[in-house]
Structure 1
Amino acid sequence: MSEQKIINFMGQRKIAATFSLLLLLLSIGSLAVKGLNFGLDFTGGTLVEVNYSVAEPLQNVRNTLEKSGYNGAVVVNFGSDTDVLVRLPHGQSDQLGAEIIAALSQDVNGAIELRRVEFVGPQVGDELKEQGGLAMLMALGLVMLYVAMRFQLKFSVGAVSALIHDVIVTLGVFSILQIDFDLTVLAAVLAVIGYSLNDTIVVSDRIRENFIKIRKATPIEVINISLTETLARTIVTSLTTVLVLVALFVFGGEMIHSFALALLVGVVIGTYSSIYVASNVLLAMDISKEDLIPPAKEAAEIDDLP
C-alpha cells in the first residue's frame, strides 16, 4: 500500500498571509468607512404583518408602498405566499397599520387583513448591538480559554486568530455589499465561530499528535503532514455544509437569505483559515516539539507503547 503524498501547504504560507491581510484590510476599511447596514432589529422601526386572500407578488407590494411614500420598506413572505411581512424604518403610529392596509388595497384584487403591528424602538436596537457585541467577545474569550487548557497557549492564539479573521471577513462582506445586518445574521456569525473552531481543533489535535509521534520532522513538515491527513475530512465536511447552504440561499426565501449568505461566507473562509491562518500563526510563534512533548516520564511511557 503506497504512502500518502504530503501536500506542501506551508510552502504557500507567505502568499496565504498576504491574501488574509488584504481581506482583513478591505473588510476593516469598509467597516470603518461604510459600516454595517443595520436592520430594524438594531435601528428601530415598525413591523406590519398582513394576509392576502390571494397570493400577491412581493415586487408589486414594494412598488405599491413606494408609490404611497413608504420608501425603504423590506417586504418578505412570512410562513406562506399569502402572508406578507413589511418592515418600515418609520416611527411608531397607532394609525400606521390601517394606513398600510389602505395603501396596499389600492392595487390589489381581493381582501387584505391586518394581522399585527409591532414597533422596535432605537433604545432596544442599541441594547441589541451592545449585547450582540458582548456575546461575540465572550464566545471568542471562552474559545481561547478552552483551547489553551485543551492544547497549549500557542494553539489558543492560533485558533482565536483564525476565528477573528473569519468574523471580520464575514462582517466585511456585509459591509461592502450593504446587505441588511439583523439578528439572524448575528446568529449566523456566532454559528460561524462554532463551525470554524470545530475544524481548527481537529487540525490542531492532529498537529499535536504528530509533534509527539514524529520526533525528527521540522515544524513545517509536521504541519504539512497533519493538514494532509485531515484534508479529506475537511473537504467532505465543508462541501456537504456548503451544498446545504447554497440550497437555503437559493430556495429558502428572503426571510433566511442573509442568514444563509453569512453562513456560506463563514464556512468557506473558515475552511481556508483552519488550514492557513491558524497554522501560520503557530509557525510565527515558533511552535516546537518542546512546547508539546510530555514530561520525560510520560514520553518514556509513550515510546514503550507497541
Structure 2
Amino acid sequence: MRLRLVPKNTKWDFFDWSGVTLGASVLAVIASVVLAVLVGLNFGIDFRGGTMIRTESAQPIDIGDYRDAIAPLDLGDVTITEVFDPNFDADQNVALIRIQAQEGGESVSAELTEAVEAGLKTVAPDIRFVGVESVSPKVSGELIMTAVYAVLMAIAAVLVYIWLRFEWQFAVGAVAALVHDVVITIGVFSILQIRFDLAIIAALLTIVGYSLNDTVVVFDRVRENLRKYKKMDLKEVLNLSINETLSRTVMTSVTTLLALGSLYVLGGDVIRGFVFAMIMGVVIGTYSSVFVASVILLRLGVKRDWSKTDGGAGTQFANIDA
C-alpha cells in the first residue's frame, strides 16, 4: 500500500479566498517590518561585536551567582543563559556568556577572559571554557552590510532568472514570494528574540533557493498548461497546475521538515537557530508559492498567445533548462 499525503487527482480551488490570503500576507509583511524596526533583532556577537564564552561544569548553573561573580569586572552589558540539550549528560551543565564590546572598539581581551574565568571559578571550581568567540564592532558592522547585500543580490538574481525563463509577470510573483518569506522569517525572529547571527543569514539565503525551486516547479507547469489549454481561463489553468504539482510540493516539504525536525531536537543549541529559520522558511515558502506567487500572477495576467514571439516579454530564453 503506497502512502499518499495528498489525494490523487485533486481539484481544489486555491483562489476562492485569494483576496483574504494575499491581504493576510501583506499585513504579515508590514507587521514584520514594523516589529523589526521597533522591537529590533537580538543580534549575536557576529553583528553587535563583543565576546561569547561557552562554559561547561558538573555543578548546576546559578545564573545569579555567575552574574555576581563577574560583576566586579565592570564589563557592561553581559547576558548569561543556560543551554539545555537532550544530548547533554546529567552532569554536563552548559552556559553561554555574551559580553559587549569594550571601550575603544575592542572585544574582551585575553586578560579579561582569564579574569572572567577566575571569577566564575569562585562559584563553580570545575568550570572550564569550551569556546570563546570575539568580533570587533567595526567587523560586525561590515558583516551586517555584507549580509544585507547578499540577500538583496540573491533576490535580484532570481528576478532576472525568472524574467528570462518565463515572463516579467512570473518574475514579479516569484520575487514577491521570496521577499514575503524572508521578511516574515525576520519578523518571527524579532518577536521571539531568537539570536540573529551569520548562520541565520545563511538560512535566509537557503530559504530563497528552496522557495524559488518550489515556485519554479509550479510556474513550469503553468507555462506548459497555458500552451496546452489555450482557451482555458487563467484562473482554471493556475488551479489545474497547482493541483497537478501539489503531491510533489507536499512530499518535498514534509520530507524536508522531517529532517529539519530531527536536527532541531537532536542537533544541539549551536545550530538550533539556523534550523528554526529553515523550518519557518519551508512552511512559509510552501505557502507563498501557492498563495502569493500564483495569486499575483493571476492579478497581473499573462500573455496567452505562445505561438508568437514577443521580444519585449522576456520569453526568448524560455526553453533554458533549470
For residue 37 of structure 2, what is the aligned residue in structure 1? 32
CA positional deviation for 1:76: 5.0
Identity of aligned pairs, percent?
A: 41
For residue 80 of structure 2, what is the aligned residue in structure 1? 73
State the SS of the aligned residue for 1:88.
strand
Equivalents in 2 of 1:231, 1:56: separation in Å?
A: 52
For residue 87 of structure 1, what is the aligned residue in structure 2? 98
Equivalents in 2 of 1:219, 1:271: separation in Å?
A: 21
CA positional deviation for 1:246: 1.9
Equivalents in 2 of 1:164, 1:223: separation in Å?
A: 21
Distance 1:217 1:93, change over 3 A: same
Of stretches 87-96 and 194-203 in structure 1, the one that deviates more from structure 2 is 87-96
Q: After superposition, give the CA deviation of every residue in 1:207-262 in whole Å (9 maximum; x if it has no partner).
A: 00000001121000000000000000010011111122222222222111211111
Distance 1:257 1:117, change over 3 A: closer
Aligned mate of 1:217, from 232, 239, 242: 232
Distance 1:119 1:275, change over 3 A: same
Distance 1:74 1:128, change over 3 A: farther
CA positional deviation for 1:106: 2.2
State the SS of the aligned residue for 2:302.
coil
Q: TM-score, length-normalised on structure 1?
A: 0.85
Equivalents in 2 of 1:148, 1:246: separation in Å?
A: 35
State the SS of the aligned residue for 1:276.
helix
For residue 304 of structure 1, what is the aligned residue in structure 2? none
Aligned mate of 2:275, from 260, 266, 272: 260
Equivalents in 1 of 2:182, 2:66: separation in Å?
A: 35
Q: Which runs of 5+ in 2 are unaligned?
A: 1-7, 103-107, 310-322
Equivalents in 2 of 1:118, 1:253: separation in Å?
A: 18
Q: After superposition, give the CA deviation of every residue in 1:7-56 in whole Å (9 maximum; x if it has no partner).
A: 11112211211211221121111112112121110000113355x5x645
Q: Which runs of 5+ in 1 are unaligned?
A: 297-306
Distance 1:154 1:242, change over 3 A: same
Aligned mate of 1:105, from 101, 121, 124: 121
Equivalents in 2 of 1:90, 1:150: separation in Å?
A: 48
Equivalents in 1 of 2:133, 2:293: separation in Å?
A: 44
State the SS of the aligned residue for 1:73.
strand
Q: Does 1:141 pair with 2:152?
A: no
Q: TM-score, length-normalised on structure 2?
A: 0.81
For residue 201 of structure 2, what is the aligned residue in structure 1? 186
Q: RMSD of the alignment, in Å?
A: 2.5
CA positional deviation for 1:93: 2.9
Of stretches 145-154 and 224-233 in structure 1, the one that deviates more from structure 2 is 145-154
